[in-house]
């Protein structure tokens, strides 16, 4: 099987070209250009953004754009740059990042403008965007301030078909995160592969896995109660999920602390591990290789115990105030919400569109694989839609920061009681 190095090298050449093809000078928009800040680079969406940006330029050739890329795991580079720009009243024209509660401080500061009439109503988005995602973009009397672009499922358990078949393990028969431990034991005793490919370099990866474990062990209602800050009331559930996560570390790659999440994905693709928990963007990484195909080489099932939950991360584009290029930015946002843009971006990135009227089995240059088609159907049918703290779309930014701090320490010392006490305090803001 190809190694991590082979996968990274193959994917990297095309991705570097994609970034170069759509990037501007990296600073503030100049000469009246519409400045678009993004955090997508490399395997984490550069080619998807380029495809969407090309579509916009085809439709609006007279709109000049400057692409300001701020890479960093889970958007950390963009978040840092954006805070400085926004609170100095020097915003970009728009930026692509997480929607939801993390926008609340900007709304409270009067730094977001309404696009209810000129974008949402004019483009008919209220008729086609699911209610959950509308709630991520609408803020009280201000109205809509963002347009959703992608919804990535996070509670995925991707599995390498060759590895699980060699071990005689059926991932779809595993009923809980605890039971997954037994399956990983079998994987490691019957094959030369690790049970789980992961990276602990970025705290968000660890937190995202823990949130999936929490739901799988304790159920959707308990998780929602936790998100509301009822940590002490759910002490047993919180500690149980922490203990399971601590056990998982025996089954992941020894270099988890030194590799990034894209390298961990390459480990999985190369057969160095049986399982992978990542967002649907991992599918974008898979598609970079002609030697790693859906069904034949990889498959996916929800994290055991989470079949009835669609845990997702929503990214979109925002409309800040003061707005440097109002008309151009509204054109961009209307385009972002269009069928064409949603197909161009998500077909490559790996997520599902944020509209309920997309033909997922269509043909053409931008097509969705079987995994995405299934995920789209499950997304539209899901009764239990939720986000995660790891991706800042369920709690206020300060709470998310506090929780991240708890897990930054936990992934170093694996002290369950200390982590539990930290989570109790994290919601006290």
Over residues 180-194, the pLDDT tens digits come to: 999 999 999 999 999
Considering the domain architecture, whether residues 147 and 161 belong to the same structural domain is answered as: no
Q: Residue 328 and residue 326: Cα distance in Å, rounded?
A: 6
Of 70, 73, 22, 74, residue with least CA distance to 344: 22
State residue 9's pLDDT score. Answer: 34
Residue with token string 């779809």: 172
Give the tens place of pLDDT for each residue, 120-142. Answer: 999 999 999 999 999 999 999 99
Considering the domain architecture, whether residues 93 and 221 belong to the same structural domain is answered as: no
CATH number, residue 222: 3.40.190.10
State residue 175's pLDDT score. Answer: 97
* Assigned domain for 198 exists: yes
The domain boundary, picked from 340, 368, 396, lies at: 368
* Assigned domain for 132 exists: yes
State residue 3's pLDDT score. Answer: 40
Secondary structure (3-state) at 275: strand
Q: What is the mean pLDDT of residues 160-167?
A: 98
Considering the domain architecture, whether residues 319 and 307 belong to the same structural domain is answered as: no
* Assigned domain for 3 exists: no
State residue 43's pLDDT score. Answer: 59
- Helix extents (H) in 249-369: 261-269, 282-286, 326-336, 339-349
* Assigned domain for 401 exists: yes
Comparing 7-21, 78-92, 171-185, which segment has the lowest mean pLDDT? 7-21
Q: Residue 105 and residue 183: Cα distance in Å, rounded?
A: 44
* Assigned domain for 373 exists: no
Considering the domain architecture, whether residues 345 and 395 belong to the same structural domain is answered as: no
Domain count, the chain: 2
Of 67, 64, 51, 55, residue with least CA distance to 18: 51
Contact 299, 161 (CB under 8 A): yes
Considering the domain architecture, whether residues 209 and 133 belong to the same structural domain is answered as: no
H or E segment at 210? Answer: helix 203-218
Considering the domain architecture, whether residues 197 and 266 belong to the same structural domain is answered as: yes
* Assigned domain for 381 exists: no
Is the predicted pLDDT of residue 154 greater than 90, yes or no?
A: yes
Considering the domain architecture, whether residues 279 and 338 belong to the same structural domain is answered as: no
Give the tens place of pLDDT for each residue, 265-314. Answer: 999 999 999 999 998 889 878 888 889 999 999 999 999 999 999 999 99
* Assigned domain for 257 exists: yes
Considering the domain architecture, whether residues 62 and 145 belong to the same structural domain is answered as: yes
Considering the domain architecture, whether residues 147 and 31 belong to the same structural domain is answered as: yes
Considering the domain architecture, whether residues 291 and 412 belong to the same structural domain is answered as: yes
State residue 45's pLDDT score. Answer: 81
Give the tens place of pLDDT for each residue, 1-55. Answer: 444 333 333 333 333 333 333 333 333 444 589 999 998 876 558 899 999 999 9
Parent domain of 101: 14-151+314-368
Considering the domain architecture, whether residues 269 and 408 belong to the same structural domain is answered as: yes
Comparing 21-35, 159-173, 228-242, 361-375, which segment has the lowest mean pLDDT? 21-35
* Assigned domain for 407 exists: yes
State residue 75's pLDDT score. Answer: 66
State residue 22's pLDDT score. Answer: 38
State residue 19's pLDDT score. Answer: 33
H or E segment at 95? Answer: strand 94-98
Q: Residue 311 and residue 386: Cα distance in Å, rounded?
A: 5
Give the tens place of pLDDT for each residue, 330-370. Answer: 999 999 999 999 999 999 988 899 999 999 987 788 999 89
The pTM for the full model equals 0.84
H or E segment at 44? Answer: none
Residues 6+ apart with CB under 8 A from 369: 283, 287, 294
Q: Residue 19 and residue 37: Cα distance in Å, rounded?
A: 13
Q: What is the mean pLDDT of residues 233-254?
A: 98
State residue 77's pLDDT score. Answer: 76
State residue 74's pLDDT score. Answer: 57
Average pLDDT, the chain: 90
Q: What is the mean pLDDT of residues 198-209?
A: 95
Residue 70 binned pLDDT confidence (cut-offs 50, 70, 90): confident
H or E segment at 18? Answer: helix 4-22
Considering the domain architecture, whether residues 196 and 303 belong to the same structural domain is answered as: yes
């Amino acid at each position: 099987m190809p190694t991590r190095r082979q996968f990274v090298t193959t994917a990297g050449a095309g991705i570097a070209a994609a970034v170069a093809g759509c990037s501007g000078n990296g600073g503030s928009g100049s000469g009246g250009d519409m400045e678009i800040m993004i955090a997508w680079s490399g395997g984490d969406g550069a080619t998807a953004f380029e495809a969407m940006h090309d579509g916009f330029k085809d439709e609006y050739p007279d709109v000049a754009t400057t692409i300001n890329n701020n890479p960093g795991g889970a958007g950390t580079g963009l978040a840092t740059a954006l805070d400085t720009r926004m609170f100095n009243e020097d915003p970009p024209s728009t930026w692509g990042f997480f929607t939801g509660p993390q926008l609340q401080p900007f709304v409270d500061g009067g730094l977001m403008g309404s696009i209810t009439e000129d974008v949402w109503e004019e483009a008919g988005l209220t008729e086609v965007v699911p209610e959950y995602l509308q709630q991520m973009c609408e803020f009280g009397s201000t109205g809509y301030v963002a347009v959703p672009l992608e919804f990535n499922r996070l509670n995925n358990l991707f599995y390498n078909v060759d590895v699980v078949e060699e071990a005689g393990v059926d991932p779809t028969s595993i009923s809980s995160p605890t039971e997954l431990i037994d399956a990983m034991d079998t994987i490691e005793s019957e094959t030369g592969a690790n049970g789980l490919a992961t990276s602990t370099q970025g705290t968000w990866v660890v937190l995202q896995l823990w949130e999936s474990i929490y739901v799988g062990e304790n159920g959707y209602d308990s998780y929602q109660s936790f998100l509301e800050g009822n940590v002490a009331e759910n002490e047993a559930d919180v500690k149980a999920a922490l203990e399971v996560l601590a056990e998982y570390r025996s089954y992941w790659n020894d270099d988890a602390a030194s590799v990034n999440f894209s390298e961990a994905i390459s480990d999985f693709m190369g057969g160095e591990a049986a399982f992978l928990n990542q967002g649907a963007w991992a599918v974008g990484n898979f598609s970079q290789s002609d030697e790693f195909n859906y069904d034949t080489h990889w498959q996916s099932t929800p994290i055991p115990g989470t079949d009835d939950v669609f845990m997702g991360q929503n990214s979109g584009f925002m409309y800040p105030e003061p707005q440097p290029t109002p008309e151009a930015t509204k054109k961009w946002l209307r385009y972002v919400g269009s069928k064409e843009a949603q197909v161009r971006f998500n077909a490559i990135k790996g997520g599902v569109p944020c509209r309920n009227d997309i033909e997922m089995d269509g043909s053409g240059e931008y097509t969705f694989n079987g995994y995405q088609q299934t995920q789209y159907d499950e997304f539209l049918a899901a009764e239990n839609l939720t986000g995660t703290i790891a991706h800042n779309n369920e709690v206020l930014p300060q709470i998310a920061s506090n929780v991240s701090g708890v897990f930054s320490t936990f992934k170093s010392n694996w002290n369950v009681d200390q982590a539990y006490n930290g989570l109790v305090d994290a919601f006290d803001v």
